Amino acid sequence: MDRILIRGGKRLTGKIAISGAKNSALTLMPCALLTDEPLTLRNLPRLADVDSFGHLLNELGASTSVEGTRPNEFGRVLSVRASRLTSTVAPYDIVRKMRASILVLGPLLAREGEATVSLPGGCAIGNRPIDLHLKALEALGAEIELSAGYVKASAPNGRIAGGRYRFPVVSVGATENALMAAVTARGTSVLDNAAREPEIVDLCNLLVAMGAVIRGIGTETLEIDGRDRLHGATYAVMPDRIEAGSYACAAAVTGGDVELVGAAPNDMRATLDALSEAGVLVEETANGVRVAAANGIRPLTLNTAPFPGFATDMQAQFMAMLCKADGTSTLTETIFENRYMHVPELARMGADIEVHGRTAIVRGVQKLTGAPVMATDLRASMSLILAGLAAEGETQVNRVYHLDRGYERLEEKLQAVGADIERVGDG
């Protein structure tokens, strides 16, 4: 199994190109199931999760073709055509690898009037039930049954009627599934307390490009008029705000100066505001965002929250950065209850962190020291990379397949701005 070796202490300077957003790509790809015409997605990141979702679409009967497969190329163009679906079953063997697979439930229900989807897998970062997905679909007229580890959804008379649902808590995935189910309902659907994340806006914009009628895009109330059918489209995936934030933390923790080319500052305002509060220079440029740190890092108090609040997907990376802050920081995780599994690994490198329930107290230390560490989930993996970049000596990050799920060509991007980092295999 591959490992990543980092010899820390290098100041990062230069430019990093930001890839298409993983979390958006995995939401846009299932939209191909809503039409028998081709859907072409540009700026698609080269990631293991994207490949896995492509395999799932193939399993359902869609054909896929990819441009941009040269070894030194970032981003790809994916064309998907689901002229005729051959299955409405998303099997356990594929779904268990990736939680986002549950997002075929809504489109299959909309297109075929039925769907059978295995309960999902993904990172072990806490309890992430899909009850809100199912309750929202039921409110839109679906009949739901749970049996032998599968969700079985059906639409009376082959097509859901539409309806109204208020999410008791904000749920990105449930909003996405309900949206994709509602666009071909018989009537109008209203989703209240819907997620407002930029990835939701990206999904809405693609659906509109395919012929859907959606009002209230970017707000907590989405109103969708069902259409008889959608058509194909060509659409560019939005830039990855979490990747951009991760590399911003890399610049900060190494005292570096990096331009994040292609980053969309309005999509990551809470991250940029937190960096500014920590004393890091944040400057919007013609091509993205510049992040520079020369005077150390100030401690912070942060609470994760749904957009436009501070993203849970940035918590681990900020924790690694704040290990080098001049003072004590407090991080409170409000979204997931088990998202501090990186803490013991950071402690192996000399971090001083105490966890009390959902709150972590991070006391800045003079130095971190390289050590062998084990990645536990996607964002935790990136926190260990950041700590390794700032540490003295060599850090070995194991189980890097987590990173491959969410960061396109990470070593290459960091090498280009001066990091001493490489991927090595067991052989």
Is residue 184 within 8 Å of residue 230, measured between CB atoms?
yes
pLDDT in tens, the chain (427 residues): 799 999 999 999 999 999 999 999 999 999 999 999 999 999 999 998 999 999 999 999 999 999 865 545 567 899 999 999 999 999 988 888 788 899 999 999 999 999 999 887 543 334 447 889 999 999 999 999 988 889 999 999 899 999 999 999 999 999 999 999 999 999 999 999 999 999 999 999 999 999 999 999 999 999 999 999 999 999 999 999 999 999 999 999 999 999 999 999 999 999 999 999 999 999 999 999 999 998 999 999 999 999 999 999 999 999 999 999 999 999 999 987 777 989 999 999 999 999 999 999 999 999 999 999 998 888 899 999 999 999 999 999 999 888 988 999 999 999 999 999 999 987 5
Return the percent helix, strand and coil in the chain, to nearest 5.
35, 25, 40
Annotate 259-317 with DSSP letters as a single string.
EEET--GGGGHHHHHHHHHTT-EEEE-SSEEEEE-SS-----EEEB-STTSB-GGGHHH
Whether residue 39 is found in the same domain as residue 11: no
Which of 123, 204, 249, 323 is flagged as catalytic? Answer: 123
pLDDT of residue 148: 86
- Tell me the C-alpha distance between 243 and 227, whole Å: 35
pLDDT of residue 21: 97
- Residue whose structure tokens are 């509060």: 277
Whether residue 58 is found in the same domain as residue 195: yes
Number of domains in the chain: 2
Whether residue 228 is found in the same domain as residue 243: no
Of 236, 252, 280, the domain-final residue: 236
pLDDT of residue 97: 78
- Tell me the C-alpha distance between 189 and 166, whole Å: 11
Kindly list the distances between the CA atom of residue 145 and the CA atoms of 134, 152, 230, 280, in Å, as whole numbers in the listed order.
Answer: 9, 5, 27, 51
pLDDT of residue 124: 39
Whether residue 40 is found in the same domain as residue 14: no
Of 236, 264, 295, the domain-final residue: 236
Whether residue 249 is found in the same domain as residue 373: yes
Please, which residues bridge with residue 369 across strands? 392
Contacts of 364 by beta carbon, 8 Å cutoff, 6+ apart: 297, 299, 322, 323, 324, 325, 326, 327, 328, 329, 352
Residues in the annotated binding site for phosphoenolpyruvate: 22-23
- Tell me the C-alpha distance between 412 and 16, whole Å: 10
Whether residue 276 is found in the same domain as residue 232: no
pLDDT of residue 69: 58
Annotate 171-197 with DSSP letters as a single string.
-HHHHHHHHHHHTTSSSEEEEES----
CA-based nearest residue to 391, from 366, 414, 410, 411? 366
- Tell me the C-alpha distance between 377 and 388, whole Å: 16
Whether residue 149 is found in the same domain as residue 254: no
Q: What is the dihedral of CA 135, 139, 141, 146, to 10 degrees?
A: 10
Whether residue 108 is found in the same domain as residue 125: yes
Whether residue 137 is found in the same domain as residue 58: yes
Whether residue 123 is found in the same domain as residue 272: no
Is residue 242 within 8 Å of residue 197, measured between CB atoms?
no
Q: What Rg value do the Cα atoms of the chain yield, rounded?
A: 21
pLDDT of residue 75: 77
Taking only the tens place, the pLDDT of each residue in 30-48 is 999 999 999 999 999 999 8
Query: What does the DSSP 8-state code read for residue 159?
Result: S
Of 209, 236, 263, the domain-final residue: 236
Is residue 107 within 8 Å of residue 34, measured between CB atoms?
yes
Whether residue 186 is found in the same domain as residue 45: yes
Amino acid identity of 380?
Answer: A
pLDDT of residue 125: 32
- Omega before residue 372 within 30° of 0, cis: no
Residues in the annotated binding site for UDP-N-acetyl-alpha-D-glucosamine: 99, 128-132, 313, 335
CA-based nearest residue to 257, from 290, 213, 222? 290
pLDDT of residue 123: 37
Contacts of 286 by beta carbon, 8 Å cutoff, 6+ apart: none
Domain span holding position 416:
3-18+239-424
| In 10-145, alpha helices (H) | 22-28, 48-59, 92-95, 105-112, 131-139
CA-based nearest residue to 278, from 314, 257, 253? 253
CATH number at residue 199: 3.65.10.10
- Tell me the C-alpha distance between 302 and 334, whole Å: 10
Catalytic annotation present for 323? no
Please, which residues bridge with residue 352 across strands? 363
Whether residue 205 is found in the same domain as residue 128: yes
Residues in the annotated binding site: 22-23, 99, 128-132, 313, 335
pLDDT of residue 74: 65
Strands 76-81 and 39-44 turn out to be antiparallel
